[in-house]
Amino acid sequence: MARKRFLETGKIVATQGLRGEVRVQPWCDSPDFLLQFGGFFLDGEGKNYRKVTDARVHKHMAVLKFEGAETVEDAMALLRRVLYIDRKTVDLPEGSHFEQDLIGMDVVDAGDGHAYGKLTEVLRTGANDVYTVTDAAGKEVLIPAIPDVVREVDTDAGVMHITPLKGLFDDAD
């Protein structure tokens, strides 16, 4: 499964103040994640890099100031832009994955290899993530993203091995 090199991390949704700052809705675990980057790409191809000169979190949003954005008008020109990072600049903790690498994975039984479908969505519920698995007929099943269920994630092969909770997939036993 080919993985994208440049990953969406958030979207500029509003201006902040009058000095060129923007508010970014994070598309990651937390807005704090975005503060570690010295800049972002404004496209998914690694072009149009914008350096960040100041960054902070405010009310569950990242507030960023980009080099060259000095006025509210400069900031307004950035509205609705998606921010991208180069995956090569991020070291994820062991057992962590980019959500974009999970979407589209084949979900199979860890015991017998039975295919349940594809992972089509990651829902953030607070306690733990929940994965939406969609079978070939379009039926969706929600599985908790906990170690008792998700046994192995192989992003290189595009396969997730699970041990489903009893009754989750209408099992007879």
Instruction: Looking at the structure, tell me whether residues 76 and 108 fall in a common domain.
Output: no
- d(CA 157, CA 97) in angstroms, rounded, equals 14
Last residue of a domain, one of 89, 116, 136: 89
Q: Tell me, yes or no, whether 14 and 84 share the same domain.
A: yes
The CA distance from 131 to 123, in Å, is 6
Are 116 and 162 in contact by the 8 Å Cβ rule? The answer is yes
Check residue 128 and give its pLDDT.
Answer: 86
Per the CB < 8 A criterion, the answer to whether 13 and 25 are in contact is: yes
- In this predicted model, what pLDDT tens digit does every residue of 74-126 receive, in sequence order? 999 999 999 999 998 888 888 788 888 899 999 999 999 999 999 999 888 87
Provide the domain limits for residue 107.
Answer: 99-162
Rounded mean pLDDT of the chain?
Answer: 90
Note whether 43 and 111 are same-domain residues: no
Residues 119 and 46 in one domain: no
Two tokens at 173? 């036993």
Distance in angstroms (rounded) separating the CA atoms of residues 171 and 56:
48
Indicate if the pLDDT at residue 173 is higher than 50.
no
Pick the more confident residue, 150 or 127: 150
One domain for residues 53 and 118: no
Statement: residue 20 has pLDDT above 80: yes
The tokens of 72 are what?
């509210």
The answer as to whether 173 is a domain residue is no
In contact, 35 and 55? CB cutoff 8 Å = yes
Q: Phi/psi at 99 (nearest 5 deg)?
A: -55, -40
pTM to 2 decimal places: 0.75
CATH of the domain at 114: 2.30.30.240
